[in-house]
Amino acid sequence: MAAKQVLLTNDGLKRLQDELENLKTVRRQENKEAIKRARSFGDLSENSEYDEAKEEQAAIEQRISEIEAMLVNVKIIDDDLSDNSAVTVGSTVRIKDTETGDEDIYAIVGSTESNPEEGKISDECPVGKALLGKKVGDVVPVEVPDGVINYEVMAIER
């Protein structure tokens, strides 16, 4: 089975590379010291500090593996190759709820960079998926747990 392509902006790629570097150089070393310190406490069978340090080591190594796998399958979203005529991954979209008039601005990003608190939604979430390919003026129905919300695309930017 082929690995899933990971869509990232240049900023997202840099953040992922920085995280990987930190995990490999800083966090691994800190964890190594924690394990060494915990071993010095004696009996490992009842040593909670040692158990915690080993669990952290496993989490660090798991995250390193995840990031390395993502970086092998990364595709950079190139802002220069896109226009603003339709919503694509990499677009920033201003939408309006047609019922309430509330407006929101979202950047459509790959799932790896998704962070709704920062206004970054995934191209795989219901709103992001529904907006892909739409143009200014289009009304987009989005299925949510409470029913359907209709959003009008007000602006598309890069």
Task: Quote the pLDDT of residue 1.
Answer: 47
- Each residue of 88-99: b (16+ CB within 10 Å) or e? bbbbbbebbeee
Geometric angle at alpha carbon 40, from 35 and 44, rounded to 5°: 70
pLDDT grade for 128, boundaries at 50, 70 and 90: very high
* Same domain membership, residue 134 and residue 93: yes
* Same domain membership, residue 144 and residue 87: yes
Q: What is the pLDDT of residues 72-115, one digit of tens each?
A: 988 887 655 556 788 988 899 999 999 999 999 999 998 888 89
Is 1 part of any domain? no
* Same domain membership, residue 86 and residue 102: yes
Is the pLDDT at 5 greater than 70? The verdict is yes
* Same domain membership, residue 151 and residue 98: yes
Task: Tell me which of 22, 47, 76 is where a domain ends.
Answer: 76
Q: Give this prediction's pTM.
A: 0.68
Is 109 part of any domain? yes
Q: Which of 60-64, 75-79, 83-87, 136-140 has the lowest mean pLDDT?
A: 75-79
Is the pLDDT at 133 greater than 80? The verdict is yes
The answer to whether the Cα torsion of 8, 9, 14, 19 is positive or negative is negative
Is 40 part of any domain? yes
Chain mean position to CA 47: 36
Tell me the pairing of strands 6-8 and 120-122. Answer: unpaired
User: CATH number of the domain that 10 lies in?
Assistant: 1.10.287.180
Calculate the CA dihedral of residues 73, 77, 81, 85 and round it to 10 degrees.
Answer: 130
Is the pLDDT at 145 greater than 90? The verdict is no
- Each residue of 135-150: b (16+ CB within 10 Å) or e? eeeeebebeeeeeebe
* Same domain membership, residue 143 and residue 85: yes
User: CATH number of the domain that 126 lies in?
Assistant: 3.10.50.30
Instruction: Please give the average per-residue pLDDT across 53-57, as a whole number.
Output: 94
Q: Give the range of the structural domain holding residue 110, as residue numbers without chain letter.
A: 79-157
Q: What's the number of domains the chain is made of?
A: 2
* Same domain membership, residue 61 and residue 109: no
Q: What is the pLDDT of residues 7-46, one digit of tens each?
A: 888 888 899 999 999 999 999 999 999 999 988 877 777 7
Is 53 part of any domain? yes
Task: Quote the pLDDT of residue 34.
Answer: 93
* Same domain membership, residue 33 and residue 72: yes
